[in-house]
Structure 1
Amino acid sequence: MLATTLAFVGVNGIVRHLGTDLPAAQSAFIRFAFGLTFLVPALWAMRGTRLPEGIWPLFLWRGGLHVAAVIFWFWAMARVPVAEMAAIGFLNPVIVLVIAGLLLGEGLGRGRLVSIMVALLGALVVLRPGLREITPGHLSQLAATLCFAISYIFAKRLSAMAPASVVVAVLSVTVAIGLAPIAWWVWQPVSAEQLAWLAGVAALATLGHYTMTRAFRAAPLAVTQPVTFLQILWATLLGALVFGEAVDGFVILGGALIVGAVSLNTWAEARKGRIPPQPEP
């Protein structure tokens, strides 16, 4: 899980380094195009898989949500401090908790409600509306977080209908296809250096998903979830040392509240023998 946090912060750092030279849709498309090369074995293994009827609309809905999410995320990453991006992104599992409780029949007990309220308080500490300007970049990251969370709900349904490798591979293909016409519409010349950086984004993202999966297999979520807080610390250091961003104590405090609330809920539900919903980054 430690390696996972470093990999995902590395993704954030590279995208922030690339800045606004390339349109968000184009950057996202190139990243997913490179990512497909890592999934060639899974795509090849899919050729004999028989999928149940009615699964493709779910695949397409999830792909569409992910297309919107990655465009929002790439756009925001070039405009919002790295630590703030990481902190806002931690709202992802909180949104999933709300959706799972209200729409999937899992309920919103006292523990979940307390966790949600504490996490929302953390978000207010990070954003501090009324005390400073909420930029379009912040709104874009919030939109990305919401889209990623809803996408996870579709993933939860799909996981009961198809192997995990198929779900991941189809997501990558549908997102790449969905991004292609948007990227073509805004396409700008790409340098070899930019291509190399985006290939690095794909490699780090794939590594992060792999190490996260290994961590989930090796230990309970109640153990792995608190480690994700380190991502805010790495993001803060990256922003300060590489991009000259001021260290904001409110961002660290707010992020700690969000991660603490999610971790406490994970621990409580693990004690009850339930696995709470955990979205994919």
Structure 2
Amino acid sequence: MSAASSSLRAFLVAGAGIMVYTIMDAMMKRLSIDSGAYNAVLWRSLTGAALCAVVFVAGGRRWPAWAVLKLHIGRGVAGGASVVLFFWGLARVPMAQGVALTFLAPLIALYLAAFFLGETIRRSAIVGSLVASLGVLVIAAGEVQADASTQAVLGSLACVAASILYAVSLILLRRQAQAADPLEVALFSSLVMGLMLLPAAPWLGAMPAPSQYATLLGAVVLGTASMMALAWAYARAEAQVLAPVEYSAFLWAAVSGWVAFGETVSLYTVVGALLIVAGCIVAVRRRVPAVQSEAGA
């Protein structure tokens, strides 16, 4: 398989992972509204770790080496803090707005990839990111104008903080996915998040209500599937190629928010979404070098 075909395949798998993750976001928003972001993330992480551990042990997998385990811990901590902040914010703002604000993460990730991974940032990736960021600004302006309550502002700030930590986790995911298979990545992501949150359980924790079991299980299954898809994709393509696919989450968030919570999408949001899609197309565009004939070689 050529490098271009491999990158495209990874991009499509990552896109599917983002779609599934956004549907999970809607389930987690419901859980966060009902019982708080801490409990929603805690129980999703512990349940997900338990389910992955069963498959991991049954498959005769070995405990990872310390170098790989450090990657798992680093990404789990960054991802765990990001997830709690994001769902805390998402419980206070419309899904489209919360997800739009996290689009800062791929932009930050492009430059973190250059700094930590030594990747070369192509001009098309920079231009595409600028176009997409303009779309984010348009969406944010429209949502802030529609609702500038204190809770909405705090929720927006939490989502922005989450995006910074998520950018770090995206870069670590690239290294993590190259050192471990998707199941191991999903297991340790959930395990580290759960263990990080568990010490506060005596003060903040509460058992989920029976009526929440189905939603919690659905969030676990979809979240695990998404993590495995993203790990598979990031093991096969550069972070700067895959980072812009995060923008597609806005479209799924708008649909999920409307279906699950009756949230409407403004004209600002539509214009911003078009800019984001255009930015994604520009960012992933890659010049294909001419193939020289090897006849007679």
- Looking at structure 2, the residues matched to 215 and 127 of structure 1 have their Cα atoms a distance apart, in angstroms, of 29
The one-character-per-residue Cα deviations of 1:87-133 (angstroms, maximum 9, x if unpaired) are 33344332211211244332444323212322221221121299633
Paired residue for 2:155? 137
Which of 188, 203, 209 is matched with 2:206 structurally?
188
Q: How does 1:210-225 map to 2 (within 5 A)?
A: none
User: Pick from 46, 56, 75: which aligns with 1:42?
Assistant: 56
Q: Secondary structure, in 3 states, of the residue corresponding to 2:136?
A: helix
Q: Which residue of 2 aligns with 1:18?
A: 31
Change (3 A) 1:124 1:211: same
Structure with the largest fraction of helix: 2
Question: Does the aligned pair in 2 maintain the 1:26–1:187 contact within 8 Å?
Answer: yes
Which residue number corresponds to residue 278 of structure 1? none
**Contact 1:115–1:261 (8 Å) recurs in 2:** yes
Distance change (3 Å), C-alpha of 1:255 and 1:272: farther
CA RMSD of aligned residues (A): 3.7
Aligned counterparts of 1:60 and 1:228: Cα–Cα separation in 2: 23
How far apart, in 2, do the equivalents of 1:6 and 1:130 lie? 22
- TM-superposition CA deviations, 1:30-79 (whole Å, max 9, x none): 0112212331212454653562x534333322221112011112212211
Task: State the shift of 1:234 in Å.
Answer: 3.8
How far, CA to CA, are the matches of 1:226 and 1:103 in structure 2? 18
Aligned to 1:279: none
- The change in CA–CA distance for 1:7 and 1:55 in structure 2 (over 3 A counts) is closer
Equivalent residues of 1:70, 1:144 under 8 A apart:
yes
Q: What displacement does 1:139 show?
A: 1.5
In terms of Rg, which structure is larger?
2
Amino acid at match of 2:56: A
**CA shift digits 1:189-239 (9 cap, x unpaired):** 53111233211211222334456678899xxx9x99998766434432333
Task: Give the secondary structure class of the aligned counterpart of 1:238.
Answer: helix
The one-letter amino acid of 2:84's match is I
Q: What is the aligned partner in structure 1 of residue 82 from structure 2?
A: 69
Indicate how the Cα distance of structure 1 residues 20 and 272 shifts in structure 2: closer, same or farther if over 3 A, else same. Answer: farther
CA drift of 1:25 comes to 1.5
Letter in 2 for 1:144: A
CA distance in 2, matches of 1:215, 1:48: 23
Q: Which residue does the alignment assign to 1:255? A: 273
State which of 70, 82, 96 in structure 2 corresponds to 1:57: 70
In structure 1, runs of 5+ residues without a counterpart are 274-281
Residue of structure 2 equivalent to 1:176: 194
TM-score by length of 2: 0.75
The alignment status of 1:93 with 2:106, answered yes or no, reads: yes
Indicate the percent of aligned positions where both proteins have the same amino acid.
Answer: 28
Distance 1:151 1:211, change over 3 A: closer
Residues 25, 182 of structure 1: 8 Å contact kept? no
Normalising by the residue count of structure 1, what TM-score does the alignment of the two structures yield? 0.78
Could you say what secondary structure the match of 2:34 adopts?
A: coil
Between 234-243 and 133-142, report the one with greater CA deviation: 234-243
Q: Distance in 2 between matches of 1:85 and 1:272?
A: 39
Partner of 2:9: none
Unaligned runs of 5+ in 2: 1-11, 291-297
After the TM superposition, which residues 122-133 of structure 1 pair with which residues of structure 2 at under 5 Å, given as runs? Answer: 122-128=135-141, 132=145, 133=148
Query: Structure 2: how far apart are the matches of 1:108 and 1:225?
Result: 12
Distance in 2 (CA, whole Å) between partners of 1:194 and 1:130 is 30
- Number of residues paired by the alignment? 271
- Contact 1:229–1:256 (Cα < 8 Å) also in 2: no
**Deviations, residues 121-178 of structure 1 (Å, cap 9, x unaligned):** 1221121299633711112112222212201212222334344433332222111111
Distance 1:194 1:224 in 2: 33
Contact kept, 8 Å, 1:88 with 1:142, in 2: the verdict is: yes
